[in-house]
Structure 1
Amino acid sequence: MYPNILKKIIEDFQKLPGIGEKTAERLALHLVTKIDNDEIIQFSNHLANLKEEIKYCNKCHMITDHDVCEICSNPNRDHHIIMVVADAKDVFVMEKMKTYHGLYHVLGGLVDFSRGITDKDLNIDTLEERLKNAKEMIIATSGTVEGEMTAKYLKSLFDDNRLSVTRLAYGLPVGADLKYADELTLSKAVENRLKY
């Protein structure tokens, strides 16, 4: 039904996370019917240059267009606190809060033996070097099996008296009703309770 080039664009959009067939069709049709040629050429040039212009920060492995990212090169950040995250998306999420002012370290994934990902596949060797000047390492991996396994591994590697190793708290979201929480969320909420 669709012309071949439109079918290919729809298929390309479907390769992106969270985009199903209907959304891909809507996006492709929007490009064809609502966007002028100059904008499409500009968009395609951005896509073509994306992989060439994006690199990884030499210090924290965050995606950037410089050798050292803006966070690592910012003298106003607390360079004694390093939050360890799985990937760049996590940094963007944390930065939107505007409450954390330390540095980050992007692992580039999580330990996942089922997919053949071990500690050797992650950016742990460079983390070790960076922690020599740090006072605190915040482990901010997800609460999944892989996130917990990675967190426990990092704690075992860097748990010494010189460095404070902390973990993001998990539990009930603000405004949540107890009856809708699952068992794992409730148990984490109890474990991470604070003095009131």
Structure 2
Amino acid sequence: MIESLNEAFCTLPGVGKKTAQRFVYHLLERNREGGLNLAKALVDAMEHVKHCSSCRTLSEKDICNICANNNRTNTQLCIVETPTDIHAIEQSSVYKGKYFVLSGYLSPIDGIGAAELGLDELEQKLHQQDVEEIILATNATIEGEVTAHYISNMAKHFDVRITRIAHGLPIGGELEYADINTIAHALSGRKDYGG
């Protein structure tokens, strides 16, 4: 049982065998109640959290709170790689549009293509909605840039402005690790993206 618990913790990013072992022994020796709460919270989340049918972020409801909010504009669509990127942007309190979550980036070597990122859903969204601006907020990595370029080429067939968040974020940096002011500056300083 202890070994399977160690292996379960090792499935988390950045958690190796030693760290997993420390987690397990801490919970078993010092915090069984915390371990039971963790187990219950994990089971609840795995059973009830799904993807928003509109933007693909994680949500307990079919439509997430951001997509359901009528005070947010439908004319801006910010494309991000992960739900944690939405959280980072929302903390800046600058952006008032909607989102689309790719849940990754283009990586043919890893078998991740346009279909795995939901780009067909994005194209349908552009056909059906009055999107005036797409904000490309993929990470400033090679994969993020390739993904942004692909989306930019796809969106050129629509009458839509394509912008890229300003690079107040360092090359190789990721949104979830940036501070609030950097994200706010990057969003307000975005510019047209030519691909």
Instruction: Specify the TM-score bucket, using the shorter chain as the normaliser.
Output: 0.7 to 0.9
From the superposition, tell whether residues 172 and 144 of structure 1 become closer, same or farther in structure 2 (CA, over 3 Å): closer
Q: Give the aligned partner of residue 32 of structure 1.
A: 28
Residue pair 2:81, 2:103 contacting (<8 A) in 1 also: yes
From the superposition, tell whether residues 124 and 71 of structure 1 become closer, same or farther in structure 2 (CA, over 3 Å): same
Identity %: 34
Q: What is the alpha-carbon distance in structure 2 between the residues aligned to residue 19 and residue 13 of structure 1?
A: 7
Q: Does 1:81 align with 2:76?
A: yes
Whichever residue aligns with residue 48 of structure 1, its letter is V
Q: What is the alpha-carbon distance in structure 2 between the residues aligned to residue 172 and residue 60 of structure 1?
A: 24
Residues 5-41 of structure 1: CA deviation (Å, up to 9, x unaligned)? 333322221221122333222221221122144x433
Q: What is the alpha-carbon distance in structure 1 between the residues aligned to residue 162 and residue 19 of structure 2?
A: 43
Matches within 5 A, 1:160-179: 162-170=159-167
Q: Which has the higher contact order (CA 8 A, sep 6+)?
A: 2
2:7 aligned counterpart, secondary structure: helix
Residues 65-115 of structure 1: CA deviation (Å, up to 9, x unaligned)? 001000000112122111001121211222222222211001122111111
- Tell me how large the CA RMSD over aligned residues is: 2.3
From the superposition, tell whether residues 172 and 12 of structure 1 become closer, same or farther in structure 2 (CA, over 3 Å): closer
Moved more, 117-126 or 51-60: 117-126
Residues 45-79 of structure 1: CA deviation (Å, up to 9, x unaligned)? 22223221011111001110001000000112122
2:78 aligned counterpart, secondary structure: strand
Residue among 43, 48, 58 paired with 2:43: 48
Q: Does 1:98 align with 2:93?
A: yes
Unaligned runs of 5+ in 2: 171-188
Residue among 4, 9, 14 paired with 1:13: 9
From the superposition, tell whether residues 94 and 171 of structure 1 become closer, same or farther in structure 2 (CA, over 3 Å): closer
Q: What is the alpha-carbon distance in structure 2 between the residues aligned to residue 70 and residue 193 of structure 1?
A: 25
Q: What is the alpha-carbon distance in structure 1 between the residues aligned to residue 19 and residue 30 of structure 2?
A: 16
Q: CA deviation at 1:171?
A: 5.0
Q: Which structure 1 residue ranges, 4+ long, deviate > 3 Å from structure 2?
A: none
2:18 aligned counterpart, secondary structure: helix
Q: Does 1:156 align with 2:153?
A: yes
